[in-house]
Amino acid sequence: MLWMVWDAFQATPMMADAVPRMALSAAPSGASPADVSRRFAENLPPRIQQAVAGWNQLISANFAGDQACAECHEKEYEAHLRSGHSRTLTRIDESSLANKLAETRHYQDPRRDQVFEFSQTAGSLWVRDAANASGVVVPVTWLLGSGTHAQTPIAIDESTQSGVELRWSYFANRDQLGLTPDHERFDEFAVGTIECFGRPMDAADMRACLGCHSTLTPPPSLPLINSLVVANVGCERCHGPRKKHVELAHLGHAEEAKPMLRYETAETYMDACSTCHRDESSVKPDATPNELVRFQPYGIKRSRCYLESPDKMTCSTCHDPHDTVSHNRAVSIDQCKQCHGDASSSECSHQPTGDCIDCHMPAVEWTSGIAFHDHWIRIPDAFSSDDSAADLTASDSPHNNGGK
Ligand code: HEC
Ligand code: HEC
Ligand code: HEC
Ligand code: HEC
Ligand code: HEC
Ligand code: HEC
Ligand code: HEC
C-alpha cells in the first residue's frame, strides 16, 4: 500500500547492506531481548541511525494512532476493537498465550521426535530443545493472528536480520498447540541449527508477514527493528496517515484533510483489501483449492454477482469493514436478497427459501479444523448444468487445477 510518506521514504537512498550480518546458527542465549535490541540500535552505523530517527519522525509527524480517532468516531472505534484487525500482531510479552505456555512448560511435536520447552523471563517467552539444539534459546518476538482462528509465533533476531516461524501454533477451536500450517514440509531438519525450531526466515520473509499484519513495517532500506513496527491493522492502514485530519478536525475543518486511500469504485475498494486478503494477482500459483477459500477477494472477483453487477458489490455489501464478521444467517440471507428475489435479478430455482450460504458459499476446511466460507459465489459443482457455469467449472475451477 503506497502512501505519500512511504514513497518519500523509499526515495531516500540508504543501504540496507550497511547493517551488520551474521549467520543464523545460534540465537543469543539468555540476554534480554530489550538489551539485545538496544545494543543493536546503538551499534548501527551513524547513517543508518539517522535513517531510523527519520522514520520515527515521519511516523510521529503523520500518524495519530487509533486512540486519537475514538473521541469523534466512536462507532468505528468500538467496532474495530471487536475486529481481528485490531489484534493481528501482538508482542509476545503482551499476550496471554505466553503465560499459558510458561505454565504448560512442554510441547511434544506431533511429527518429529522432539520436545520444546518454554520458559518466561526478561519480558520474553523462550523456547529451547536441549536434545537437538543444546545451548540455544530462542526468544519469541511476535504472535501473528488475533486468535479468532489461530496464532503463529515468529522470532526475529535483529542482530542477524533473520528469524524463524515457529513450528507450533495456537489453535482456538481446540484451545491447544498444534503444527503450524504448512510445516509438514519441514519435518526433516538439521540438528543444531535454527531449523530445529521451525522455518528459517530472511528479512524479506519477516517483512512480508509483518507487512500484512501491521499498520507500518519499516521498508527494506531500514533494518527490521521490532520497535519500528506499528502493530495491527489500525485505522490509518486503511485511511492513510490522519494526523493532519485530527488537528484540522479539532479546529472544525475536518473536511480539509482529504482521505489518503479511496474506496470510490468497487475496483479500488477490492484492490485495497486485496493487498492483504489476496486476489488473482497475489495468490501463489500452486495454491490448493482449500487454500484459495482463505482469499475472499479472489473468490468474490470470480463470482457472477460481482462481475454482473458492475460497481455495486464490494466487501461492504455484506460486511462492516470495521467490525468482526457477523454469523447471523438471517442478516446474510437478506444481503443476498438485496439483489436476488426482485425483478432485477434471478431468484434461486432450487431452494429459494433455504440458507443461501450453506449451498452457495459453503464453509470449506483449510487446515486443522479451520474453515473459511468460499467467497466464489456459484452454483454448487454437482448441479452446474448451465453452459456458462459449466465453462467456469471446466476451465477455471480451482478443483480442476492440476488435479490438486
Ligand atoms: C476532532 C474530531 C475528529 C477526530 C479526532 C477524527 N476525525 Fe475523522 N472526521 C471528523 C469529521 C467532523 C469528519 C467529517 C468531515 C467531512 O465532512 O468530510 C470526519 C471524517 C472522517 C472520515 C470520512 C471522510 C474521509 O476523509 O474519508 C474518515 C475515514 C475519518 N474521518 C477517519 C478518521 C481517523 C482514522 C481518525 C483518527 C486517526 C479521525 N478520523 C479522527 C472528525 C474527527
Ligand atoms: C494490512 C493488511 C489488511 C488489509 C489492508 C485488510 N485486512 Fe482484513 N484482515 C487482515 C488480517 C491479518 C486479518 C486477520 C485478523 C485475525 O487474525 O483475526 C483480517 C481480518 C479481516 C476480517 C475478519 C475480522 C473478524 O474479526 O472477523 C474482515 C471482515 C476483514 N479483514 C475485512 C477487510 C476488508 C473489507 C478490507 C478492505 C477494506 C480489509 N480487510 C483490509 C489484514 C488486512
Ligand atoms: C499477503 C498478506 C499476508 C501475509 C504475507 C501474511 N498474512 Fe497472515 N493473514 C493475512 C490475512 C488477510 C489473514 C486473515 C484471513 C485469514 O484468516 O486467512 C491472515 C491470518 C493469519 C493468521 C490467523 C489464522 C487465520 O488464518 O485466520 C495467522 C496465524 C497468520 N495470518 C500468520 C501469518 C504468518 C506467520 C505470516 C508470515 C509467515 C503471515 N501470516 C503472512 C494476510 C497475510
Ligand atoms: C480494513 C480497513 C479499515 C480499517 C482498519 C478502518 N476503516 Fe474506516 N472505512 C473503511 C472503508 C472501506 C470505509 C468506506 C465505507 C464502508 O465501506 O463502510 C470506511 C469508512 C470510514 C468512515 C466514514 C464512515 C461513513 O459513514 O461515511 C469513518 C469515519 C471511518 N471509516 C473511521 C475509521 C476509524 C476511526 C478506524 C479505526 C478505529 C477505521 N475507520 C478503521 C475501511 C477501514
Ligand atoms: C450486488 C448484487 C448481488 C448480491 C448482493 C448478490 N448477488 Fe448473486 N448475483 C448477482 C448477479 C447480477 C448475478 C448474475 C445474474 C443473475 O443471475 O441475476 C448473480 C448470480 C448469482 C448466482 C448464479 C451464479 C452462477 O455462477 O451461475 C448465484 C448462485 C448467486 N448469485 C447467489 C448469491 C448469494 C447466495 C448471495 C448472498 C451471499 C448473492 N448472490 C448476493 C448479484 C448479486
Ligand atoms: C455477498 C456477501 C459477501 C461479500 C460481498 C463478502 N463476504 Fe465475507 N462473508 C460472507 C458470509 C455470508 C460469511 C460467513 C458468515 C458466517 O460465518 O455466517 C463471510 C465470512 C467472511 C470472513 C470470515 C472467515 C470466513 O470465511 O468465514 C472474512 C474474513 C470475510 N468474509 C472477508 C470478506 C472480504 C475481505 C470481502 C471482500 C473481498 C468479503 N468478505 C465479501 C459474505 C460476504
Ligand atoms: C439446498 C441448496 C440451496 C439453497 C439453500 C439455495 N440455493 Fe440457490 N441454487 C441451488 C442450486 C443447486 C442451484 C442451481 C439450480 C439449477 O441449475 O437448476 C441454485 C441456483 C441459484 C441461482 C441461479 C438461478 C438462475 O436461474 O440462474 C441463484 C441466483 C441462487 N441460487 C440464489 C440463492 C439465494 C439468494 C438463496 C437464499 C435465499 C439460495 N440460492 C438458496 C442451491 C441452493
pLDDT tens for 296-344 read 999 999 999 999 998 999 999 999 999 999 999 999 999 999 999 876 6
**Cα–Cα distance between 39 and 202 in angstroms, integer?**
21
Of all protein residues, the one whose alpha carbon is nearest to atom 12 of ligand 1 is 254
Q: Is 370 exposed, middle or buried (0-12, 13-18, 19+ CB in 10 A)?
A: middle
C-alpha 11 chain-centroid distance: 26
Are 241 and 62 in contact, with CB atoms under 8 Å apart? yes
Mutational pocket test of ligand 3: of 142, 152, 156, 300, the residue with most ligand atoms within 8 Å of the beta carbon = 152
Given this model, what pLDDT does residue 260 score? Answer: 67
Angle at 48 between CA 45 and CA 54, to 5 degrees: 145
Q: Which residues line ligand 3 (CB under 6 A)?
A: 144-145, 149-152, 154, 165, 208-209, 212-213, 276-278, 294
**Cα–Cα distance between 254 and 177 in angstroms, integer?**
47
Can you tell me the mean pLDDT for 134-138? Answer: 88
Is the pLDDT assigned to residue 400 strictly greater than 60? no
Please enumerate in sequence order all residues whose Cβ is within 8 A of that of 271, keeping only pairs 6 or more positions apart, or say none: none
**Cα–Cα distance between 360 and 346 in angstroms, integer?**
14
Q: What is the pLDDT of residues 118-134, one digit of tens each?
A: 999 877 899 999 999 98
Please enumerate in sequence order all residues whose Cβ is within 8 A of that of 24, keeping only pairs 6 or more positions apart, or say none: 157, 160, 162, 163, 194, 200
Write out the three cell numbers for 146. Answer: 488475533
Nearest ligand, measured from the Cα of 247: 1
**Cα–Cα distance between 14 and 221 in angstroms, integer?**
6
Are 372 and 364 in contact, with CB atoms under 8 Å apart? yes
Given this model, what pLDDT does residue 369 score? Answer: 85
Q: What is the pLDDT of residues 198-221, one digit of tens each?
A: 999 999 999 999 999 999 999 999
Given this model, what pLDDT does residue 85 score? Answer: 98
Is the pLDDT assigned to residue 192 strictly greater than 80? yes
pLDDT tier for residue 258 given thresholds of 50, 70 and 90: confident
Q: What is the pLDDT of residues 375-389, one digit of tens each?
A: 999 998 876 654 443
Given this model, what pLDDT does residue 384 score? Answer: 60
Query: Which residue shows C-alpha cell 521426535?
Result: 113
Q: Which residues line ligand 1 (CB under 6 A)?
A: 64, 68-69, 71-73, 235-236, 239, 242, 245-246, 249-250, 254-255, 259
Is the pLDDT assigned to residue 27 strictly greater than 60? no
Q: Nearest CA to 198 among 245, 135, 152, 253?
A: 152
Mutational pocket test of ligand 6: of 88, 325, 329, the residue with most ligand atoms within 8 Å of the beta carbon = 325
Given this model, what pLDDT does residue 30 score? Answer: 63
Given this model, what pLDDT does residue 15 score? Answer: 31
Is the pLDDT assigned to residue 22 strictly greater than 60? no
Beta pairing, strands 162-166 & 137-140: unpaired
Mutational pocket test of ligand 6: of 375, 376, 378, the residue with most ligand atoms within 8 Å of the beta carbon = 375
For ligand 4, what atom is nearest to the CA of residue 314?
17
- Provide φ and ψ at 379, rounded to 5°: -75, 130
**DSSP characters for 36-87?**
HHHHHHHTS-HHHHHHHHHHHHHHHHH---GGGGTTT-HHHHHHHHHSGGGG
Cα separations in angstroms, 208 against 58, 182, 216, 333 = 21, 17, 11, 36
Are 189 and 112 in contact, with CB atoms under 8 Å apart? yes
